[in-house]
């Protein structure tokens, strides 16, 4: 049997596997994806893209295509049984609500099919993406004697078979089990899915409707006398998706398209509902379960549906799966380029994503009950309360409620953090605010200045540096942070490639000259070895887009200033006051997981 060695072997080219691969490609890691299908996903599966996922795509530089092609969800319509109005089998609208509160994200919630999202991620894997299709993984074994710090061995063995029956063995340093709900990797490790033993069956169909239902181009939740239905308008103006919860006891395999269509017709009474065409449909069973373990020896990691499954109501599956891949990808990138220490980085994947999966399942249980007519009746939950709870769940369903606990890569100081930066939470993703770029007066979102190329960010809020005292403080801060960055940046690489820096000043930017900005914030980079001017921003009035009031939005006192340390995946790792302890505390934090240069 032939053998091949690869540093990271990804089993499955779904949302989780591809997102991890985007990072590995950026870090130049030797990796390969094995995929059972004979080519990329073409149609179907998930479609709801949370604001957090849009932010991730934007940070990878592929947000514009997504936003141009997608349906933008702006308003929710709630429909329910017309209890007072005569015929209880008819439905009536109960209310409208905004889909997303403005402060949740500057990005919208959109709908775009999973196949297209996968394609966008594949576009980031180079001209010859290392995806081997028609290859089925059969099992995995780990040599447990190899230490977590050993980066020269290939302790994981994966057996795979291609469509022509050829068997092959892969030896890898790390394996990602991204092989979906029926994961062979998980089964082969002997891990179990814990949780509900019964599965709810959902029908989903992408259809071209012929209807007089007024909210057919809005995201709508319908609670009718015969069951629940969610409308998700699709990209491209004509197609609409229906999610239909089927009666308990339904067997997914026995469901037909006719069943789904006749059920939908009943739900929409008194409106007409006919189907000009059906593009795709499926019926699938979902239980609320998570794997008992997420890793084996910190060499094999489960991601996505392989370690958590839940109902599609809140549109979480694809998003949370993709975000698992997003979490592990940059950590493996750090380790395999020799920048990072394996133990804290790999342990943090398990701590962070196990917690996220557990919370997701708890949330989904509550959300599922809310959709259950019998439960609502027994607990006296009115249609208005249903709509209210649905809207309240907005931050969670947008993917913005994830909060990582203290770990090797998150330094939470509950008592002090909020004194430094009131509206930023360590462990949550770094929010954005509009600022003005110092070099060219362009108004832009600050996160646009933090592209996801694998580096950490030191975001320094220095206050009004036209004032001598603040200018002096900035000079001291720059010298301290330059010492830290130099300790972790190998010779010969760009000075901003491991730990990058961003400066946000406050006040009238025209009172400050470029030459007054310390060199630390204008490092010499790129092919022509130019001073990089794109790392300095002002919280100031712009020419055409108003004032972002960034200091106020972040809750930072310009007189005191602050340092916010942002991870490559844009989660906030630490905040610090600009005091005499800055160099020591920042260095201590990075020493925990980065390897100092000799």
Ligand X SMILES: Cc1cc2nc3c(=O)[nH]c(=O)nc-3n(C[C@H](O)[C@H](O)[C@H](O)COP(=O)(O)OP(=O)(O)OC[C@H]3O[C@@H](n4cnc5c(N)ncnc54)[C@H](O)[C@@H]3O)c2cc1C
The least CB distance from residue 50 to ligand X, in Å, is 11
With CB under 6 A as the contact rule, the residue among 133, 208, 284, 534 that binds ligand X is: 284
By the rule CB under 6 A, 206 interacts with ligand X: no
User: 159 - beta bridge partners?
Assistant: 139, 169
Per the residue annotation, which of 209, 312, 518, 568 is the catalytic one? Answer: 312
User: Site residues for ligand X, window 238-257 (CB under 6 A)?
Assistant: none
**Which residue, 34 or 193, has its beta carbon nearer to ligand X?**
34
By the rule CB under 6 A, 204 interacts with ligand X: yes
Name the strands in the sheet holding 308-309, side by side, starting at the edge strand that comes first in the sequence: 193-195, 289-291, 308-309
User: Site residues for ligand X, window 109-128 (CB under 6 A)?
Assistant: 114
CA distances, 37 to each of 131, 307, 441 (Å): 11, 20, 49
By the rule CB under 6 A, 137 interacts with ligand X: yes
By the rule CB under 6 A, 312 interacts with ligand X: yes
By the rule CB under 6 A, 169 interacts with ligand X: no
CA distances, 461 to each of 147, 411, 464, 517, 560 (Å): 41, 19, 9, 13, 9
Question: Where do the DSSP E strands lie in 287-433?
Answer: 289-291, 295-296, 300-302, 308-309
By the rule CB under 6 A, 282 interacts with ligand X: yes
**Which residue, 255 or 339, has its beta carbon nearer to ligand X?**
255
Q: Is 47 a catalytic residue?
A: yes
Q: Is 234 a catalytic residue?
A: yes
Per the residue annotation, which of 26, 31, 36, 47 is the catalytic one? Answer: 47
Per the residue annotation, which of 36, 234, 290, 403 is the catalytic one? Answer: 234
The least CB distance from residue 232 to ligand X, in Å, is 9
With CB under 6 A as the contact rule, the residue among 6, 112, 131, 178 that binds ligand X is: 178
Question: Where do the DSSP E strands lie in 491-547?
Answer: 499-506, 524-525, 530-531, 536-539
With CB under 6 A as the contact rule, the residue among 63, 129, 180, 507 that binds ligand X is: 180
By the rule CB under 6 A, 184 interacts with ligand X: yes
Total residues binding ligand X (CB under 6 A): 33
The least CB distance from residue 179 to ligand X, in Å, is 4
How do 308-309 and 193-195 pair as beta strands? unpaired
By the rule CB under 6 A, 230 interacts with ligand X: no
Instruction: Give phi and psi for 496, each to the nearest 5.
Output: -105, 10
* DSSP state, residue 183: -
Cβ neighbours of residue 309 closer than 8 Å, sequence gap 6 or more:
181, 193, 286, 287, 288, 289, 290, 317
With CB under 6 A as the contact rule, the residue among 69, 89, 136, 557 that binds ligand X is: 136
With CB under 6 A as the contact rule, the residue among 6, 8, 9, 12 that binds ligand X is: 12
By the rule CB under 6 A, 63 interacts with ligand X: no
Per the residue annotation, which of 243, 404, 537, 551 is the catalytic one? Answer: 243
By the rule CB under 6 A, 16 interacts with ligand X: yes
Q: Give which of 46, 30, 47, 38 is closest to 13, Cα–Cα.
A: 38
- Identify the residue whose tokens are 């499926």: 282
**Which residue, 318 or 505, has its beta carbon nearer to ligand X?**
318
8 A C-beta contact, residue 300 and residue 142: yes
Q: Is 312 a catalytic residue?
A: yes
8 A C-beta contact, residue 118 and residue 96: no
- CA angle (476, 564, 514) in 5-degree steps: 50
Give residue 33's region: left, alpha or beta (phi > 0; psi -120 to 50): beta
User: 49 - beta bridge partners?
Assistant: 110
By the rule CB under 6 A, 56 interacts with ligand X: no
**Which residue, 323 or 425, has its beta carbon nearer to ligand X?**
323
By the rule CB under 6 A, 17 interacts with ligand X: yes
8 A C-beta contact, residue 325 and residue 303: yes
**Which residue, 175 or 204, has its beta carbon nearer to ligand X?**
204
8 A C-beta contact, residue 404 and residue 355: yes
By the rule CB under 6 A, 318 interacts with ligand X: yes
CA distances, 297 to each of 301, 343, 406 (Å): 9, 11, 21
By the rule CB under 6 A, 394 interacts with ligand X: no
- Catalytic annotation, residues: 47, 234, 243, 312
Summarize as ranges the residues that interact with ligand X (CB under 6 A). 11-17, 34-37, 44-46, 48, 114, 136-137, 178-180, 184, 204, 282, 284, 304-306, 312, 315, 317-318, 321
């Amino acid at each position: 049997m032939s053998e091949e060695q690869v540093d990271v072997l990804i089993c499955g080219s779904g949302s989780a596997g591809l997102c991890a691969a985007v990072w590995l490609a950026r870090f130049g890691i030797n990796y390969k994806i094995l995929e059972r299908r004979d080519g990329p996903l073409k149609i179907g599966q998930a479609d709801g893209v949370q604001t957090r996922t849009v932010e991730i795509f934007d940070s990878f530089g592929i947000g514009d295509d997504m936003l141009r092609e997608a349906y933008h969800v702006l308003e929710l319509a709630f429909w329910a049984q017309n209890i007072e109005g005569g015929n209880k089998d008819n439905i009536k609208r109960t209310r409208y609500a905004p889909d997303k509160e403005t402060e949740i994200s500057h990005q919208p919630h959109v709908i775009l099919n999973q196949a297209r999202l996968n394609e966008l991620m594949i576009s980031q894997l180079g001209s010859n993406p290392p995806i081997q299709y028609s290859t089925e993984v059969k099992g995995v074994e780990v040599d447990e004697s190899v230490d977590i710090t050993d980066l020269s061995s290939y302790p994981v063995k994966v057996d795979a078979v291609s469509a022509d029956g050829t068997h092959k063995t892969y030896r890898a340093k790390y394996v990602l089990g991204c092989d979906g709900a029926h994961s062979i990797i998980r089964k082969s490790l002997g891990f179990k899915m814990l949780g509900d033993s019964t599965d709810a069956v959902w029908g989903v169909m992408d259809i071209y409707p012929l209807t007089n239902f007024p909210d057919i181009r809005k995201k709508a939740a319908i609670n009718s006398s015969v069951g629940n239905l969610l409308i998700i308008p699709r990209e491209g103006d004509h197609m609409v998706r229906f999610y239909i919860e089927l009666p308990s006891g339904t067997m997914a395999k026995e469901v037909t398209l006719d069943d789904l269509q006749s059920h939908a017709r009943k739900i929409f009474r008194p409106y007409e509902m006919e189907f000009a065409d059906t593009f795709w449909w499926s019926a699938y069973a979902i239980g609320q379960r998570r794997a008992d373990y997420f890793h084996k020896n910190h060499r094999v990691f489960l991601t996505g549906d392989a370690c958590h499954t839940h109902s599609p109501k809140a549109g979480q599956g694809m998003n949370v799966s993709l975000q698992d891949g997003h979490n592990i990808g940059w950590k493996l990138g750090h380790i395999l380029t020799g920048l990072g220490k394996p133990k804290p980085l790999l342990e943090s994947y398990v701590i962070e994503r196990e917690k996220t999966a557990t919370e997701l399942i708890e949330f989904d249980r509550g959300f599922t009950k809310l959709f259950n007519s019998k439960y609502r009746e027994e607990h006296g939950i009115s249609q208005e309360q249903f709509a209210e709870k649905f809207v309240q769940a907005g931050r969670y369903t947008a993917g913005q409620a994830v909060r990582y606990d203290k770990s090797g890569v998150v330094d939470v100081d509950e008592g002090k953090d909020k004194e430094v930066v009131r509206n930023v939470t360590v462990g949550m993703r770094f929010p954005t605010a509009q600022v003005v770029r110092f070099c060219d007066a362009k108004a832009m979102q600050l996160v646009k200045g933090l592209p996801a190329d694998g580096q950490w960010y030191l975001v320094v809020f220095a206050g009004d540096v036209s004032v001598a005292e603040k200018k002096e403080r900035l000079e001291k801060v720059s010298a301290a942070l330059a010492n830290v960055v130099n300790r972790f940046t190998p010779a010969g690489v760009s000075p901003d490639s491991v730990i990058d820096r961003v400066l946000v000043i406050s006040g009238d930017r025209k009172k400050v000259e470029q030459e007054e900005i310390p060199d630390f914030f204008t490092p010499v980079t790129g092919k022509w070895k130019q001073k990089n001017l794109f790392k300095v921003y002002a919280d100031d009035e712009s020419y055409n887009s108003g004032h972002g009031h960034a200091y106020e939005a972040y809750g930072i006192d310009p007189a005191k200033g602050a340092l916010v340390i942002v991870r490559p995946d844009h989660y906030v790792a630490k905040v610090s006051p600009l005091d005499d302890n800055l160099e020591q505390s920042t260095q201590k934090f990075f020493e925990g997981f980065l390897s100092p240069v000799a």
